[in-house]
Amino acid sequence: MKKITSFTINHDYLKRGMYISRIDGDVITYDIRMKMPNNPEGDYLEDNALHTLEHLFATYVRNTAFSDTIIYVGPMGCRTGFYFLTRDTLPGRDAIRLVQETLVFVKDFTGEIPGGTRQECGNYLAHDLEGAKKLAEEMLPVLENWTEAQLQYPKEVLA
């Protein structure tokens, strides 16, 4: 079988940040890496916090001026980050800014979790708002001065 693109990245050298994982036609897949892969201390995104972050992230970006360019937001199975899929009509600098704004939104969020009721969510009891806020707070300084040039994976990561 053909190896998928995300498995060709050398995760031993991958740092926290935001990268273009792949481009398929007019769809850009961003790799928002929030935790170091294969961390010996076992520091990964906690399930309930990442679930809440997903709800808040998806809700926020789909309620901005860029909503028509948003395709998908979802956690990585390895629990080190999120995939963020957009149309190529959203320039990289705007995608970075949108993720930065989303993290601020999550950090400052109060109230009921969007889509967090039994009728709206398939695992409605598995949420952790304080954990999601902490994840956003930890990631904000990483992306604070992120540039379009940094969206490309570093050479040592490309296997």
- Give 13's Cβ-side CA count (13 Å radius): 10
User: Given this model, what pLDDT does residue 29 score?
Assistant: 97
pLDDT tens per residue, range 63-76: 999 999 999 999 99
Higher pLDDT, 114 or 41: 114
Overall average pLDDT of the 135-158 stretch:
96
What domains, with CATH codes, occur in the chain? 5-144 (3.30.1360.80)
pLDDT for res 88: 93
Q: How many angstroms separate the CA atoms of 79 and 77, rounded? A: 5
Residue with tokens 């967090």: 116
**Per-residue model confidence (pLDDT) at position 116:** 97
